[in-house]
């Protein structure tokens, strides 16, 4: 049996263990999950680093409330999707709607509102959101 003190990565192992115990995950941990979530949802228009820096403290606080043994990736994914959904940014604009649906005027505004609602409930890519609107 090898002692942890003999491992060349002992400092990293200890730091990671302390972070896990304190639920004090690093920014890079959150960015990794953000990248996975944004790729799954086709969201490539949000700066992951800035987004994570903005939300990291509230995410850490939320994770501290969970029972020991939680799945970091799963729980962090939920937090990220929730915060992405609460943003009023969607991957399409009025011009996209006018071109795709050949409409103008108040109809564009109504379609944008429907798009925001769809996106808020389930973030997705531009192509997917347009498909859902049809």
pLDDT tens-digit map of 59-98? 999 999 998 888 999 999 999 988 987 877 888 999 999 9
| Residue 104, CB-side half-sphere exposure with 13 Å CA sphere | 0
22 plus 58 within the same structural domain: yes
106: exposed, middle or buried (C-beta count within 10 Å: 0-12, 13-18, 19+)? Answer: exposed
Asked whether residue 3 is assigned to any structural domain, the reply reads: no
The reported pLDDT for the residue numbered 20 is 61
Sequence-ordered alpha helix ranges (H) in the chain: 10-22, 27-41, 48-64, 72-86, 94-101, 106-121, 126-133
The reported pLDDT for the residue numbered 5 is 63
pLDDT band at 4 (very low <50, low <70, confident <90, very high): low
50 plus 98 within the same structural domain: no
31-35, 40-44, 88-92, 124-128: least confidently modelled range? 40-44
Q: How many domains does the chain have?
A: 2
40 plus 105 within the same structural domain: no
105 plus 40 within the same structural domain: no
Q: For residue 37, is pLDDT > 60?
A: yes
73 plus 106 within the same structural domain: no
Q: For residue 128, is pLDDT > 80?
A: yes
82 plus 99 within the same structural domain: no
Q: For residue 40, is pLDDT > 90?
A: no
Contact indicator for 115, 129 with CB cutoff of 8 Å: yes
Asked whether residue 4 is assigned to any structural domain, the reply reads: no
17 plus 81 within the same structural domain: yes
Domain containing 101: what range?
Answer: 94-133
112: exposed, middle or buried (C-beta count within 10 Å: 0-12, 13-18, 19+)? Answer: middle
Asked whether residue 2 is assigned to any structural domain, the reply reads: no
């Amino acid at each position: 049996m090898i002692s942890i003190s003999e491992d060349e990565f002992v400092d990293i192992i200890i730091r990671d263990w302390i972070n896990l115990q304190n639920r004090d995950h690093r920014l890079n941990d959150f960015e990794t999950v953000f990248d996975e979530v944004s790729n799954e949802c086709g969201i490539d228009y949000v700066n992951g680093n800035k987004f994570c820096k903005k939300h990291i403290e509230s995410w850490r606080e939320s994770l501290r409330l969970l029972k020991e043994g939680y799945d970091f990736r799963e729980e962090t994914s939920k937090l990220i999707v929730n915060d992405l959904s609460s943003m009023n940014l969607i991957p399409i604009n009025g011009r996209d709607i006018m071109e795709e649906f050949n409409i103008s005027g108040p109809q564009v505004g109504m379609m944008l509102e429907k798009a925001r609602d769809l996106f808020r409930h389930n973030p997705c890519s531009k192509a997917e959101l347009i498909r859902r609107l049809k």
